[in-house]
With several copies, the nearest count.
Chain A
Amino acid sequence: MRLIDLPFDPAREMAAFNAAHAAAGGIVSFMGQVRGQGAELLELRHYAPLTLPGMSALAQVCAARWQLDGLLMLHRTGRLSPGEPIVLVAAAAAHRRQAFAAADYAMDHLKSESWFWKRERRAGQWHWIEPRADDYGGLARWV
């Protein structure tokens, strides 16, 4: 579980995670990256006193809810260009269903409950991005 303020290579992170969990039956990963759509830059701001404890709490919930061999959560902060990876979540488990559910759950909660604020620069102007309705819709699936 890490926050990083420099670009990362998802394939290299996954190679390390796979190597650390060679005994797991299956590994599910999600990698989210900056979509182009006209924005020049995306900035991810966070509030450090809440962000890391929040991600730790989420990891603990995942570990308690599913039988996992390992869980990786990696989130970028700072300024990102289109195509750069923002987030990488990976779950290793003996059973495929558990790995899928844990990765899906972790992403739903990272998206809507973690302490990140995004703004994007279009034509030289910064605009804050409001949460989307379907971020909340995802959470309702887990109640």
Chain B
Amino acid sequence: MTARLIFLGRLEDAAGGAERDVTPGPLEAVLAALAPDLAVALLGERVRMALNGVLIAERGGIVLREGDELAFLPPVSGG
């Protein structure tokens, strides 16, 4: 039973890797299980999220289920 977090751009450095498998559940619980510095970086104001490839407009109420992929997207630096 796992869900997957994806870390883009500089968040990959903060997380020490491009992805991480986590136990499914409410996003708050998933983040609470991470290192505090990483959790703070992931919740940065300019970091957006995509759940299974779909951008999320609201951060509240996200619950990760088995097989879900949640990506954290810092500001892009373009072409």
A residues apposed to B, CB below 8 Å = 32, 44-45, 47, 49-50, 53, 75, 86-87, 107, 110-119, 128-132, 135
Contact = CB atoms under 8 A, between A and B. Distances in A.
A49 B50 CA distance: 9
A32 B10 CA distance: 23
Contact of B78 (A53, A111, A128): A111
Contacts of B53: 49-50, 53
Contacts of B74: 117
Interface residues of B, number: 19
B30 to A, nearest CB: 19
Given A49-B71, A115-B76, 15 more contacts: A47-B6, A49-B53, A86-B79, A110-B79, A112-B76, A113-B76, A116-B76, A116-B78, A117-B9, A117-B74, A130-B77, A131-B75, A131-B77, A131-B78, A132-B77
